[in-house]
Structure 1
Amino acid sequence: MLALVSDIHANIEAFTAVMDHIRTNPAITKVYCLGDVVGYGPDPEPCLDIAMNLDLNLMGNHEYATLNQAYGFSAYARDAVDWHRKLLKPGLFSARTKKKRWNFLSNEMKSRHEEEEGRILFVHGGPQNPIEEYLLRTDLDEVMGELSKKLVDAFELTRWLCIVGHTHTPGIIFEEAKFIHPSQVNGTFTFEEGRKYLVNVSSVGQPRDGDPRACYVTFDGETKTMTWHRVEYDVEKTAAKIREKPHLNDFLGERLIKGV
């Protein structure tokens, strides 16, 4: 069984709670991260230290912005990325641990990963732009049964499952212009052969579906079943840390409490 985490966003309280929850399930043999370990939050360093020990790490747009520049970001997202860059980028005489984290960001994160001979695609954003593409519920018209061109193209590049993060909102987009939130299926869904799915695992460190609890998924390749798990953590503690950091906007803490 595989566990998938995404969009930790420097929230060590959420990440620790999720990893503790994962360890309670002996069936889980691998843990993949779909990107955005950094960005928004107060604790990028300990979150990277955990991520470096996972079985796979994909690059998210916040990692890319930390290594380069935060183009197209909101002011508060850009300020957080700029602060993380200053915090993480090593100098000539920096400690070995700091250099190791930067090397991890620079050289050890893939943009995409495929399994089952390409039938399962893992990316942060989407198949057309693995780092920055957004696949959103608003890209489909459920009443008219229509997909946007972006989703049509995404499905053309998907053989069975395309598993993503990035939007911080859990759910499944169907080729028939249908969307399902995990709460509609009691948190568990079994995928059928011969169909295509765009699947969002949500966010560990900043969920935006109105539920402030951390979210991750498990995927059983034998039964073709995915389960979304919600995990309680000390949201108030993380929000208080954000308020204490002059480089982080208070809104980033408030949204954690509301889950938006």
Structure 2
Amino acid sequence: MSRTALITDIHANRQAFDAVLEHASQQGVDRYAFLGDFIGYGADPAWVLQRVQALCAKGAIAVQGNHDRAVAQGPMPHMTSDARHMVEWTRAQLSPEDIAWLKALPLTRRVEDCFFAHANAFAPEQFAYIHGRLDAVRSLQASPCTYSFFGHMHEPRLYHLSSTGKAGDFTPEPGTEIPLLPHRRWLAIAGSCGQPRDGNPAACYAVFDSDQQVLSFQRVPYDVDTAAQCLTAAQGLNPELAQRLATRLQGGQ
């Protein structure tokens, strides 16, 4: 493994995903790792899955997110009416083969000294969030690898744990290469490609160079207006999803 693009929480946002793939190609990545939640919220689930599946056929890594599991299994009883409707709408856009592919996705992957999951390492099947340093340390201690990569939180963050048990964290600056010192264990949350929630409207992903042991978080502007228009035009979707996308891009919850 050399330069790996870490892409997560695409959420069926075709415009954001297309922009990130183009940017990653320009960065010279030679592998992709998709950290779950390919679908949900966005208007183009089938298109996104086709692109991901094509890259997986060439060796990309992919794990299952909570939205992927919900669509694969069908609406769950505890879901709100809006969430159930989104799941049902998304399932109707996908082929049986797409749904089977989502269902078969693993919760975790390990490649060399890298661990990949959607939410955490301590209970990946429960999709618990890493809200801060305590959750991160718990996940770092549960991970079998030096480097752990997750999504789920929709905000980029980097945590580390020293051999003496001292933990630290910080919000990375886009485009800055961060040396991952070998005497520490590292946990990176790669942000969100299709639903950023940190006040920056640009799509977010990260690039890990395992040869140089550096990580960089990237921000990629994309056509947010077209993504919102696609949501508005999609038959059967709540028009408020377009406004929710814009609100969340401005830092809403």
1:128: which partner in 2?
122
Query: Match of 1:120, as an amino acid?
Result: C
Change (3 A) 1:22 1:151: closer
Q: Say whether the 8 Å CA contact 2:91–2:99 is kept in structure 1.
A: no
Change (3 A) 1:177 1:252: farther
Find the aligned partners of 2:41 and 2:83 in 1 and give their Cα distance: 6
Q: Say whether the 8 Å CA contact 1:161–1:197 is kept in structure 2.
A: yes
Please give the per-residue CA displacement for 1:205-245, whole angstroms capped at 9, x wherever unaligned.
10111111111111100111111111111101111222233
Post-superposition shift, 1:113? 0.9
Q: Say whether the 8 Å CA contact 2:72–2:100 is kept in structure 1.
A: no
2:106: which partner in 1?
110
Change (3 A) 1:215 1:75: farther
TM-score normalized with structure 1 length: 0.82
2:15 aligned with 1:13: yes
Give the SS at the match of 2:50.
helix
Q: Say whether the 8 Å CA contact 2:118–2:152 is kept in structure 1.
A: yes
Post-superposition, which runs of at least 4 consecutive aligned residues in structure 1 deviate over 4 A?
Answer: 70-75
Change (3 A) 1:39 1:222: same
Post-superposition shift, 1:80? 1.4
Residue 163 (structure 1) aligned to one of 142, 149, 165: 149
Residue 200 (structure 1) aligned to one of 189, 208, 216: 189
Aligned length: 236
2:171 aligned with 1:181: yes
1:232: which partner in 2?
221
Structure 2: gaps spanning 5 or more residues? none
Please give the per-residue CA displacement for 1:176-230, whole angstroms capped at 9, x wherever unaligned.
45331112x7543111112122210111110111111111111100111111111
Give the SS at the match of 1:199.
strand
Residue 82 (structure 1) aligned to one of 75, 85, 88: 88
Post-superposition shift, 1:28? 1.4
Find the aligned partners of 1:248 and 1:201 in 2 and give their Cα distance: 28
Change (3 A) 1:73 1:225: farther
Q: Say whether the 8 Å CA contact 1:160–1:194 is kept in structure 2.
A: no
Give the SS at the match of 1:196.
strand
Residue 234 (structure 2) aligned to one of 227, 234, 245: 245
Find the aligned partners of 2:199 and 2:240 in 1 and give their Cα distance: 15
Q: Say whether the 8 Å CA contact 1:40–1:81 is kept in structure 2.
A: no
- State the superposition RMSD in angstroms: 2.1
| Overall identity of the aligned pairs, in % | 31
Find the aligned partners of 1:61 and 1:84 in 2 and give their Cα distance: 14
Give the SS at the match of 2:98.
helix
Query: Match of 1:178, as an amino acid?
Result: G
Post-superposition shift, 1:251? 4.2
Q: Say whether the 8 Å CA contact 1:76–1:248 is kept in structure 2.
A: no
Query: Match of 1:44, as an amino acid?
Result: P
Query: Match of 1:33, as an amino acid?
Result: F
Query: Match of 1:181, as an amino acid?
Result: T
TM-score normalized with structure 2 length: 0.84
Find the aligned partners of 2:148 and 2:240 in 1 and give their Cα distance: 31
Query: Match of 2:47, as an amino acid?
Result: P
1:43: which partner in 2?
44
Find the aligned partners of 2:4 and 2:99 in 1 and give their Cα distance: 27
Give the SS at the match of 2:42.
coil
Query: Match of 1:29, as an amino acid?
Result: D
Q: Could you tell which deviates more after superposition, 222-231 or 68-77?
A: 68-77
Post-superposition shift, 1:70? 4.3
